[in-house]
Amino acid sequence: MQKRIRLFLALIPLLFYLELAAQKTQQKSQLPALIDRELFFGDPEIINAQLSPDGSYIAFIKPYKGTRNIWVKKREEPFTAGKPMTADTTRPINAYTWSRDGKNLLYIQDKGGNENFQLYAVQPSQAPAAGQALPPTRALTNVPNARVMIHHMSRSEPNIVYIGLNDRDKAWHDLYRLDITTGEKTLVRQNTDRITGWTFDWNDKLRLATRSAPDGSTEILRVDDQGMKSIYSATVFETSFPIGFHKDNKRFYLRTDAGNRNLQQLMLFDPVTFKEELVETDPKNQVDVGQVRISEVTHEPIFISYQDDKMRRYWKDQSYEKNFSPIEKKYADRMVFPGSATLDEQYWMVHIVSDVNPEEVYLLDRKTQQLTFQYRPRPKLPVKDLAPMQAIRYKSSDGLEIPAYLTLPKNSSGKNLPLIVVPHGGPWARDMWGYNSYHQFLANRGYAVLSPNFRGSTGFGKKFLNEGNNQWGQKMQDDITWGVKHLIAQGTVDPKRVGIMGVSYGGYATLAGLAFTPDVYAAGVSIVGPSNLITLLNTIPPYWESIRKMFAHRMGDASTPQGKEQLMRQSPLNSADKIKAPLLVVQGANDPRVNKAESDQIVVALRTRGFPVEYLVAPDEGHGFARPVNNMAMLAAAEKFLAKHLGGRYQESMSPAVATRLKEITVDVKTVALSSPSTAEK
């Protein structure tokens, strides 16, 4: 009898393992079919359609010879009739705008991710007929080692655009008046006052400037014939900026949380009398004011939106509410976003999005109320197999409530699942409800996916944002760790199969998670993540000078003994000896924000102690991968890596081009050397 009992007790672990294995097999068998990663992350067929000012044309982004470029078609034509306007085969074009008169399409482009953006123009009137050469693209700012920013597009002179250029001083942009037709630039103001932005009124007159003071505070300046005068200020821990002028062209709309406010509110401010008037704050007192859409016709707000668990919108113009309310009711389970519009605001592009549908785009004629379908960016994506995203809340280590988003694999039991935590970048940003390609990709592979809005995330008020000050790798990391604990306690997650994967700050959180809480994670993928906070701060781009002091206040001040000790403690590099989970590191060689040395350092530190780490470096990328072939190679490696260590599914096949590229960007970690040894000090 005792032998039988001992035998039974000895078999318990085996029986438990077999039951667990059976559960995992059953969970995988219930999942939808594996969706090709190309459908999630490959080039969309069409994106970013924008109406020309007169409504005659629609421009859009579509691949041309394998790279995203600008196309154009007549409004009434099908998209198949579109003609390419640009032919860049080295780097995708993602953003562009029409000139005010519709004669030009303007876009910015850098080289290999170095963020030295230049401004280009192409004329849609020169769209080629079949078999003809593409129209010439004109470089309006062919300035080496400088970057351009667009400040204002003139209404009264539609061929004039006001730009900023940092060719004189890398840290600060001078203001220029640029003639699109001739390419002639005229200096308007030399920036010797730490100016970060300019605001023009409805008559194209320069009226306001924003300034970053040496102590990190923000000032709003009135600009007039007498010069510039400070009229409003906010501390380094507050946020205030103008968003446009009122219809009276005297007062301006101001977003601010300065003073005793917690949430950012929308105010009207008089730059002469300094009188403030509240326009609106969140009716639910939950989040900061979000998008404020101001009509170019009436010069009044059309709507104000708020990013809560889901987006909330409040219409301020009854005529627009009458136009858009039927659409919102029809698509009540989705989010409706008014996009580009014609100059008279009769025609609008309307974008309809949900957590399980990337986008459907329609054309709305406000006069006839006719809504006409235009396109879906990813029509081959099987949306019926995508998984819903839910907003959740949980308490962190000190009791602070953390808002987060959770996606569970479709058809899963919702129990004992492998988990991938995906912290957002920034870190002064936030995750939102809606379609998330990483969530859907990983959920399709069988993982639960968690995106926490840890303290320091924006949108939830000044207090929540400032709770993250000096807390990189500490309370901010606790907010992530306690999310994992919450899901484990609920039985949702298998504690032995937890991974973490992120970009930029999310990459840092990945390294911090593996280094500071090594028992929590079984694998990590760090994409352009900093490993040493001191060298990170020493190598930030010169054009970030305006926020350098903010970094010192919110991250830590390396110029003080206390601040340096804190930053060293919070640097995963200095705890690399504690990392025991497998790690995949991904880096762009030209990254100006997170220098390649940040990834080199952690890889070298791990290899020095004989710890295996996979390393991908793309020579033609910057802060994140823009070229689809690089992105596909990285994702193919990542999903195989995660499957190996966490047990999820993965797609074995890849195109020959992606397979070749993956070999090219895989770095032999046995021989990797530091990019900039001088910056790798601790």
Residues annotated as part of the active site: 504, 591, 623
Please state, as a whole number, how many other Cβ atoms lie within 10 Å of the Cβ of residue 109: 20
Q: Are 393 and 402 in contact (CB under 8 A)?
A: yes
- List the Cα angle 443/478/451 in 5-degree steps: 25
Task: Give dist(CA 490, CA 482) in Å, integer.
Answer: 12
Nearest Cα neighbor of 599 from 523, 41, 607, 521 is: 607
Q: Are 388 and 407 in contact (CB under 8 A)?
A: yes
Residue 571: DSSP 8-state: -
DSSP lists the bridge partners of residue 234 as 218
Task: Give dist(CA 93, CA 108) in Å, integer.
Answer: 8
DSSP lists the bridge partners of residue 164 as 149, 175
Q: Which residue has the tokens 């939950």?
A: 286
DSSP lists the bridge partners of residue 199 as 208
Burial, 481: exposed, middle or buried (Cβ in 10 Å; 0-12, 13-18, 19+)?
Answer: buried
Does the CA dihedral 330-333-334-337 come out positive or negative? positive
Q: Is 307 helix (H, G, I), strand (E, B) or coil?
A: strand
Find out whether the peptide bond into 271 is cis, omega within 30 degrees of 0: no
DSSP output for 317-356: -HHHHHHHHHHHHHTTTSEEEEEEE-TTS-EEEEEEEETT
How many residues belong to the chain?
682
Residue 532: DSSP 8-state: -
For 244, left (φ over 0), alpha (ψ -120 to 50), or beta? left
Phi, psi of 455 (to 5 degrees): -55, 145
Looking only at the bridges linking them, the beta strands covering 311-315 and 67-74 are unpaired
